[in-house]
Amino acid sequence: MEINGIAHLLVTVAEFAVCRDFYRELLGELGLRPVIDTEGMLYCVGGRTAFGVRPCGPAHTGVRFDQMRAGLHHVCFRARARADVDSLHAWLLARGARVVHPPEEGPWAPGYYSLLFEDPGGTRLEINHVPGKGLLQS
């Protein structure tokens, strides 16, 4: 068997109302459009990607994301052009979002260029550009 990519990714957030607004804008900027947008879920689709946000359980309300705990480390969106990474950086700065590192080159693949940032609850997000197919096969 060989999979055909990842169908969707869902993240849970402690401050759903604030994070839903952030993700609605961010995902729209990335070309994803809402399919579900309710008090319990935001689910957007575009660019062969589906991404959802849900509120965490009551026991975890108010708890910030910890990248080093078991579970999700970060999510990386793949841009079509290096300029898209720079454009998103400017977009994030204009909104006062927390940028962990501005656009920079990295050693993970030839031409790897990325930006690391956080949603309002601290979930780590990245956008990168790798020329051509990079390490991906298709």
Nearest 5°: phi and psi at 45?
-135, 140
Q: How confident is the model at residue 63 (pLDDT cuts 50, 70, 90)?
A: confident
Of 121, 126, 125, the residue nearest 20 (C-alpha): 121
CB 125 within 8 A of CB 75: yes
For 16, the enclosing helix (H) or strand (E) is helix 16-29
What is the separation of C-alpha 80 from the centre of its chain, rounded to a whole number of angstroms? 15
Residue 2 has a pLDDT of 82
Arithmetic mean of pLDDT, 11-16: 93
Residue 134 has a pLDDT of 63
Arithmetic mean of pLDDT, 15-32: 96
Residue 4 has a pLDDT of 78
Q: How confident is the model at residue 136 (pLDDT cuts 50, 70, 90)?
A: low
pLDDT at 61 over 90: no
Domains of the chain with bracketed CATH? 9-129 (3.10.180.10)
The predicted model scores a pTM of 0.91
Query: What b/e string do you get for 10-39 counting C-beta neighbours within 10 Å, with b at 16 or more?
Result: ebbbbbbeebbebbbebbeebebebeeeee
Q: How confident is the model at residue 135 (pLDDT cuts 50, 70, 90)?
A: low
Arithmetic mean of pLDDT, 3-16: 90
CB 53 within 8 A of CB 19: yes
Q: What is the pLDDT of residues 35-50, one digit of tens each?
A: 999 999 999 999 999 9
The four Cα atoms 70, 72, 74, 80 give a dihedral, to 10 degrees, of 150
Identify residue 52 by its one-letter amino acid code. Answer: G
- The per-residue DSSP string of 88-122 comes to HHHHHHHTTPPEEEEEEE-SSSTT-EEEEEE-TT-
